[in-house]
Amino acid sequence: MKTLSLLIVVISVTCFCSCSSNDEDTHPHHGETHSHDYTKETFSIDGLVDEVKTVPDSIMAYLHAQHHSHKVLERRTVPPGYETRELKSWKEYAANLDDLPVINPGPGEYVHVMEGYKNGYQNLVIGITETFPGGAPPMHTHKGEEAHVLLEGTILYALGDTLFTIEAPYIVNIPPMVPHAFKNIGENTANLVVIFPTNVWEYDVLDYFPFKEDKE
């Protein structure tokens, strides 16, 4: 009877340990591991890819100098490697988020990227972010205008030389070449929808970060 009781205790402890470990899962990517925190994550980021980073030339530097005083560090784009979708029926005009590449522009900031020219659009790029609490992309610019749409959450924005906080629901208009960044100061993941009237995902990173780093 004592042996049976001991066996039950061992099984119970083993089950508890294995079940508890399910709260955090790791997925290999380019030889690395990625921890998933399901208390924060809204969408899967298993499609994570490395951004293509280009060193700025004199033309890029000159363009930026006409609009702001910051130095441009690099240009980032989504890597090639996935084919343009063949849209043979109306059903195929719907893109599943899990099929889109995911980039990681900054700490706690992931973006599912839908590039228009690969998805049947003439002049449209859309990104949906996974911005964890405290997460933020680097200060950056785009050659064209941009719109941010958020239905839930609180975001601290740096737009030009202005810092301001805004609570969802909102739409933010970001003019071409205006330096900007944002930080999720809420308690939950923020899923911003970012929209560009262009066909290629592209942005230029600047040498200035407007937010204080969180110290643990």
- pTM of the model as a whole: 0.79
Evaluate whether 76 touches 205 at the Cβ level (below 8 Å): yes
Query: Region 126-153: what's the mean pLDDT?
Result: 97
The residue with greater pLDDT, 147 or 37, is 147
C-alpha distance across the termini of the chain, in Å = 50
In a domain, 46, yes or no: no
**pLDDT digits 0-9 by tens, 2-60:** 443 433 333 343 333 434 334 444 333 434 444 545 446 789 888 999 999 999 999 99
In a domain, 74, yes or no: yes
In a domain, 20, yes or no: no
In a domain, 21, yes or no: no
Give the number of domains in the chain. 1
In a domain, 10, yes or no: no
**pLDDT value at residue 120:** 86
Q: Is residue 94 pLDDT above 90, yes or no?
A: no
Please report, for the domain that includes residue 182, its CATH number: 2.60.120.10
**pLDDT value at residue 82:** 59
Percent of the chain with pLDDT over 70: 78
In a domain, 109, yes or no: yes
**pLDDT value at residue 99:** 87
Q: Give the residue numbers spanning the domain of 162.
A: 52-206
Query: Region 187-202: what's the mean pLDDT?
Result: 95
CB under 8 Å to 60, separation ≥6 — which residues?
72, 75, 204
In a domain, 200, yes or no: yes
In a domain, 25, yes or no: no
* CA-atom Rg of the chain in angstroms: 21
